[in-house]
Amino acid sequence: MKKMAMWLACAVATGLLVNSIVVGQDAGAIVAWGSNYYGQCNVPAPNSGFVAVAAGGNHSLGLKANGSGACCLSGGVCEVKTQADCTAAAGTYKGDGSPCDPNPCPQTPATGACCLSGGVCQAKTQADCTAAAGTYQGDGSPCDPNPCPQTPSTGACCLSGGVCEVKTQADCTAAGGTYKGDGSLCNPTLCLPFNDPNAIPPDTNQPETTASTCGAGFCGAGVVAAVPLTLLGLAGLKLRSRARLRR
């Protein structure tokens, strides 16, 4: 019988039995899986316990006594296992005698880096990236380092004449402005000249001292004209009043 099995194996190898399974007598072992175009005479272990075989134009099947079949594992991987072993491996058993070729297991879609608004990168499938209005960087592409174009930071930029505009630091410098820092915002007083937060604002209700109000002898040639009334101005008015009383 061993000689017969060897002859059959050679027959398979030479193409006399195309796509057929040759079963030896030694504990139900498979001698060859097919025509040996792809090494079907090299039957991998474990190679025992087969009780039935079948073959077609492009496939060969062997049924083992323990009821093994295709087991779908994580990532769409298919392995021939018993139902008990498949369950223990957290797989999905496809039934006794079910093959792994063609692969009956659902395939996990490929993912890659997806560039979203603001330079954010997330791992997504191409379909999910497109649905999120992102730019897919390719299957297996990473998010670290971030491949997505980054949006430059902006802030308040003080320009000539006290004008404030939100710009990037580079654009602010190019415009001859003063950049106030990333994230800073424009407000009505941010870019005013000599802006001192501790300064005391002038009293706009105080009347100005002019030549007509301070007198011709005191203001002279307009030295202190058009300045707010001060203690010195009040003292001058008192001196003039005393001079008139003496006359």
pLDDT in the model for residue 214: 52
Cis ω before 149 (30° cut-off from 0): no
Span 186-198, pLDDT tens digits: 998 899 876 555 5
Write down the domain spans for the chain. Answer: 2-64, 109-151, 153-193, 208-240
Do the beta carbons of residue 175 and residue 164 sit within 8 Å?
Answer: no
State the Cα–Cα distance between residues 114 and 108, nearest whole angstrom.
17
- pTM: predicted TM-score of the whole model, two decimal places: 0.37
State the Cα–Cα distance between residues 51 and 21, nearest whole angstrom.
12
Q: How is the beta sheet containing 154-158 ordered, strand by strand?
A: 164-168, 154-158, 178-179
pLDDT in the model for residue 37: 77
Amino acid at 236: G
Do the beta carbons of residue 114 and residue 103 sit within 8 Å?
Answer: no
State the Cα–Cα distance between residues 211 and 93, nearest whole angstrom.
107
Averaged pLDDT in 10-residue chunks for the chain of 247 residues = 42 41 60 77 75 74 77 92 94 91 90 94 96 95 94 92 93 95 91 64 57 50 45 50 53
> What six digits make up the tokens of 117?
């608004």
pLDDT in the model for residue 203: 59
pLDDT in the model for residue 68: 87
Q: Which residues fall within 8 angstroms of residue 201, CB to CB, at 6 or more apart?
A: none
pLDDT in the model for residue 12: 43
Q: Tokens 């003039």 — which residue?
A: 240
State the Cα–Cα distance between residues 65 and 47, nearest whole angstrom.
12
DSSP structure string for 81-102:
EEHHHHHHTT-EE--TT--SSS
pLDDT in the model for residue 91: 95
